[in-house]
């Protein structure tokens, strides 16, 4: 009995002492018919990253011809000093409001620039954009894709973090945000890990997943699917979108999603519908139970099961 008691104490202490060893992000979206008050809710645990600050980025106005800098995202592939800022300050810039203007730190170095809009909306930001003044909300988790390209100025300048910020600066609805982020991936290129973004407004929610497919590519691939109003969706560091259905009202995707898969030899039409998880994902993120055990059974059996 004493040996069993001692073993129980040892295991308990081991679990609590090593709780920080796992860096896992779980994100959940509940549709308006799945909540008691009709709200569309997004949650996101952002674990294992060095800069946990919550920054308020104010609304701003710009003159015609101004360009918006796109900065490297530390959460993509780890801190890279050549792109400025610090491990504890993800962005250092005068252009993102006073919260990011930390003058004693190295300034963030732009990977590239996109045309700025006349007016941007105010939003809350962490390692990823959270919510803007129109209640457009975004949650995130990192996924393992087959290919994780490196950033390259003028060639691959966007990761999901900066994509989420641009969406919150410019969009009022989830559909607008998904479409904008997809267009930016196709035009300016994508680097880093695979990503899941849950995008919601007060009326509906979407899951958007993205990744690179070639280490020297100049674009990326993405797919998005609407979460039914009466369901709950959860992602835990693994792609969740399955079959890509053409001309479906609840699904949109990149123009190259089929051609890229065929060119890489990952899929051919005779295989049937393109399965996003199998074609562009690379299995579980760390080991067979890393993602699955965080998908609670009632939730796992609802959206996209």
Predicted pLDDT at 103 = 86
Predicted pLDDT at 276 = 97
| Helix, strand and coil in the chain, % to nearest 5 | 25, 25, 50
- Helix (DSSP H) and strand (DSSP E) numbers for the chain: 7, 15
Percent pLDDT > 70 in the chain is 87
Q: Is the pLDDT of residue 283 over 90?
A: no
* Own/partner long-range contacts of 109-112 (Cβ < 8 Å, ≥24 apart): 109/71, 109/72, 109/82, 109/83, 109/84, 110/69, 110/70, 110/71, 110/153, 111/70, 111/71, 111/72, 111/83, 111/151, 111/152, 111/153, 111/154, 111/156, 111/157, 112/70, 112/153, 112/154, 112/157, 112/188
Stronger pLDDT, 210 or 48, i.e. the higher one: 210
Predicted pLDDT at 8 = 40
Percent pLDDT > 90 in the chain is 80
User: Could you tell me the CA-to-CA distances from 157 to 20, 89, 150, 160, 195 in Å, in that order?
Assistant: 31, 19, 9, 10, 15
Predicted pLDDT at 74 = 93
CA–CA gap between residue 106 and residue 89 (Å, rounded): 10
User: Could you tell me the CA-to-CA distances from 224 to 196, 206, 227, 243, 278 in Å, in that order?
Assistant: 9, 7, 10, 11, 16
The mean per-residue pLDDT over the stretch 62-75 comes to: 97
Average pLDDT, the chain: 89
Give pLDDT tens digits for 113-172.
999 999 999 999 999 999 999 999 999 999 999 999 999 998 999 999 999 999 999 999
Neighbours of 178 (CB within 10 A): 23
CA-based R_g, the chain, Å: 20
Predicted pLDDT at 290 = 81
Give pLDDT tens digits for 220-246.
999 999 999 999 999 999 999 999 999
Work out the end-to-end distance of the chain between its first and last CA atoms, rounded to an integer number of angstroms.
Answer: 44
The mean per-residue pLDDT over the stretch 281-287 comes to: 77
The mean per-residue pLDDT over the stretch 269-288 comes to: 88
Predicted pLDDT at 18 = 45
Q: Is the pLDDT of residue 269 over 80?
A: yes
CA–CA gap between residue 290 and residue 53 (Å, rounded): 27
The mean per-residue pLDDT over the stretch 283-297 comes to: 72
CA–CA gap between residue 285 and residue 144 (Å, rounded): 5
Place of tokens 């590239």: 112
pTM score, two decimals? Answer: 0.89
Neighbours of 40 (CB within 10 A): 22
Q: Is the pLDDT of residue 50 over 80?
A: no
The mean per-residue pLDDT over the stretch 264-292 comes to: 88
Strands 205-211 and 194-200 come out as antiparallel
Neighbours of 95 (CB within 10 A): 17
List the single range of 46-55, 126-135, 293-302 with lowest mean pLDDT.
293-302
The total number of residues shown for the chain amounts to: 305
- 47 pLDDT band (50/70/90 cuts)? confident
Q: Which residues does residue 57 pair with via DSSP β-bridges, in sequence order?
A: 123
Give pLDDT tens digits for 14-39.
333 444 445 678 999 999 999 999 99
Predicted pLDDT at 5 = 47
Give pLDDT tens digits for 191-204.
999 999 999 999 99
């Amino acid at each position: 009995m004493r040996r069993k008691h001692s073993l129980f104490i040892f295991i308990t202490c081991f679990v609590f002492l090593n709780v920080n060893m796992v860096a896992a992000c779980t994100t959940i979206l509940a549709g308006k018919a799945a909540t008691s008050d009709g709200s569309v809710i997004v949650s996101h645990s952002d674990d294992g990253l060095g800069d946990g600050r919550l920054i308020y980025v104010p609304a701003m106005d710009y003159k015609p011809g101004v360009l918006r800098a796109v900065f490297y995202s530390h959460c993509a592939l780890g801190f890279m000093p050549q792109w400025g800022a610090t491990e504890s300050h993800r962005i250092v810039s005068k252009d993102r409001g006073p919260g990011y203007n930390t003058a004693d730190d190295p300034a963030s170095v732009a990977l590239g620039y996109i045309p700025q809009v006349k007016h941007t909306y105010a939003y809350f930001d962490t390692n990823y954009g959270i919510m803007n003044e129109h209640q457009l909300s975004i949650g995130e988790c990192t996924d393992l894709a087959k290919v994780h390209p490196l950033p390259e100025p003028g060639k691959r300048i966007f990761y999901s973090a900066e994509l989420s910020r641009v969406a919150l600066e410019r969009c009022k609805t989830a559909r607008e945000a998904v479409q904008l982020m997809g267009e930016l991936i196709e035009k300016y290129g994508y680097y880093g890990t695979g990503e899941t973004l849950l995008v919601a407004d007060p009326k509906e929610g979407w899951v958007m997943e993205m990744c690179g497919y070639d280490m020297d590519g100049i674009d990326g691939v993405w797919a998005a699917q609407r979460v039914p109003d009466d369901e709950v969706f959860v992602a835990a560091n693994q792609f969740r979108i399955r079959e890509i259905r053409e001309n479906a009202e609840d699904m949109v995707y990149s123009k190259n999603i089929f051609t890229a898969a065929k060119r890489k030899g990952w899929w051919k039409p005779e295989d049937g519908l393109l399965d996003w998880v199998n074609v562009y994902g690379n299995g579980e993120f760390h080991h067979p139970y890393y993602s699955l055990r965080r998908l609670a059974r009632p939730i796992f059996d609802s959206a996209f099961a």
